[in-house]
């Protein structure tokens, strides 16, 4: 991995907690607990490497369909982890933002989210975005609804308008999308934003993903040629 050409915006689908725990004869929830520890390590590593914006998929709009006990465990885990980590994140100049329909969470979690966002609002070092109750289809729909609300009677929208109304509007374009846990799908994550992101899938289950694994993913990213529709020759020429 080179210190140059670090992706500005990395997003991670942190998958495999349940299988990691089950393989050890433990309950799925214990995998989520270890998963939080790995998130902490990866957040720190990304900051040290110079990633400007890190977006972690913590809970999808479809994850409500899980058993009630698992959903409640996750909600409690989010509250505890957030309250515990927010001071350290703030000390490191991290600006925290939640992406998703957080209004559906219980009031305790909503309160923790509001406080954490307010405390870190003016930080400028790194952006940490937690996608919670997020769905890419929800994101695009809420963007369209924003536009309709702000410009009633509007007849046509364009891509730039839509992009400006996505929850990621103030973040750099997505460069690298990582999915751990062996599945090769997007699961309704940043579907618009991933249009030209480099995709990286690995079999490592999230509780085993560490800073070295992150470096491996960035190394793979650095080996890609991002052509954005052009020919390889054109891009090589421009890089000279
Ligand atoms: C991802 O791990 C974490 C969340 C969705 C909250 P999973 O819980 O999906 O783990 P697997 O895929 O069942 O192993
Ligand atoms: C995606 O993982 C959501 C998160 C990692 C938070 P899932 O485990 O929910 O995805 P599917 O259901 O296998 O597609
Ligand atoms: Mg999963």
Domain CATH number, residue 35: 3.40.1180.10
| Nearest listed ligand to the Cα of residue 59 | 2
**Is position 63 annotated as part of the catalytic site?**
yes
Token digits for 220?
């793979």
64 is in an annotated binding site: yes
Protein residues whose CB sits closer than 6 Å to any atom of ligand 1: 14-19, 59, 63, 74, 181
Helix ranges restricted to H, the chain: 17-22, 28-49, 68-91, 107-119, 136-150, 159-164, 211-222, 232-239
Report yes or no on 190 lying in a domain: yes
Rounded Cα distance, 29 and 21, in Å: 8
3-state secondary structure of 91: helix
Q: What is the pLDDT of residues 107-135, one digit of tens each?
A: 999 999 999 999 999 999 999 999 999 99
Q: Report the chain's mean pLDDT, rounded to a whole number.
A: 98
Q: What is the pLDDT of residue 132?
A: 98
Domain count, the chain: 1
Kindly tell me the burial class for residue 163, based on how many C-beta atoms sit within 10 Å of its own C-beta (0-12, 13-18, 19 or more): middle
User: Is residue 178, in this structure, part of any structural domain at all?
Assistant: yes
Q: What is the pLDDT of residue 233?
A: 98
Across the beta sheet with 53-60, what order do the strands follow?
Answer: 94-99, 126-134, 53-60, 9-13, 176-179, 198-201
Domain membership flag for residue 230: no
Q: Which of 5, 48, 63, 165 is catalytic?
A: 63
Question: What percentage of the chain carries pLDDT values higher than 70?
Answer: 100
Q: What is the pLDDT of residue 29?
A: 98
Domain range for 58 is 9-221
Instruction: Report residue 153's pLDDT band, with 50, 70 and 90 as the boundaries.
Output: very high
How confident is residue 209, by pLDDT bands cut at 50, 70 and 90? very high
Has residue 169 been placed in a domain?
yes
The reported pLDDT for the residue numbered 189 is 98
The reply to whether 240 falls in a domain is no
What pLDDT, on a 0 to 100 scale, did the predictor assign at position 232?
98
In a domain, 54, yes or no: yes
Six-digit token pair at 80? 């505890």
15 Cα: distance to centroid of ligand 1 (angstroms) = 5
The average pLDDT across 70-90 equals 98
Predicted local confidence at residue 220, as pLDDT: 98
Domain presence at residue 175: yes
Question: Residue 90: helix, strand or coil by DSSP?
Answer: helix
Total count of residues recorded for the chain: 240
For 178-206, write each residue's pLDDT tens digit: 999 999 999 999 999 999 999 999 999 99
C-alpha 124/C-alpha 95 separation (Å) is 7
Instruction: Note whether residue 229 is domain-resident.
Output: no
Q: d(Cα 70, Cα 27) in Å, to the nearest integer?
A: 10
**Whole-angstrom distance, CA of residue 33 vs CA of residue 101:** 23
């Amino acid at each position: 991995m080179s210190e140059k050409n670090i992706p500005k915006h990395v997003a991670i689908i942190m998958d495999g907690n349940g299988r990691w725990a089950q393989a050890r004869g433990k309950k799925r929830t214990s995998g989520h607990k270890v998963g939080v520890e790995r998130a902490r390590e990866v957040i720190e590593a990304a900051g040290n490497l110079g990633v400007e914006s890190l977006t972690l998929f913590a809970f999808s709009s479809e994850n409500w369909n899980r058993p009630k006990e698992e959903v409640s465990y996750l909600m409690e885990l989010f509250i505890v982890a957030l309250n515990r980590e927010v001071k350290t994140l703030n000390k490191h100049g991290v600006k925290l933002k939640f992406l998703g329909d957080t209004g559906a969470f219980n009031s305790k979690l909503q309160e923790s989210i509001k406080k954490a966002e307010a405390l870190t609002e003016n930080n400028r070092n790194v952006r940490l975005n937690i996608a919670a109750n997020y769905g890419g289809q929800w994101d695009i729909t809420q963007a369209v609804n924003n536009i309709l609300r702000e410009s009633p009677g509007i007849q046509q929208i364009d891509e730039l308008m839509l992009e400006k109304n996505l929850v990621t509007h103030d973040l750099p374009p997505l460069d690298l999308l990582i999915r751990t846990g062996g599945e090769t799908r997007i699961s309704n994550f940043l579907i618009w934003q991933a249009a030209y992101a480099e995709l990286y899938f690995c079999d490592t289950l999230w509780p085993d993903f560490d800073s070295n694994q992150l470096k491996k993913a960035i190394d793979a990213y650095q080996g890609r040629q991002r052509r954005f529709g052009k020919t390889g020759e054109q891009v090589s020429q421009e890089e000279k």
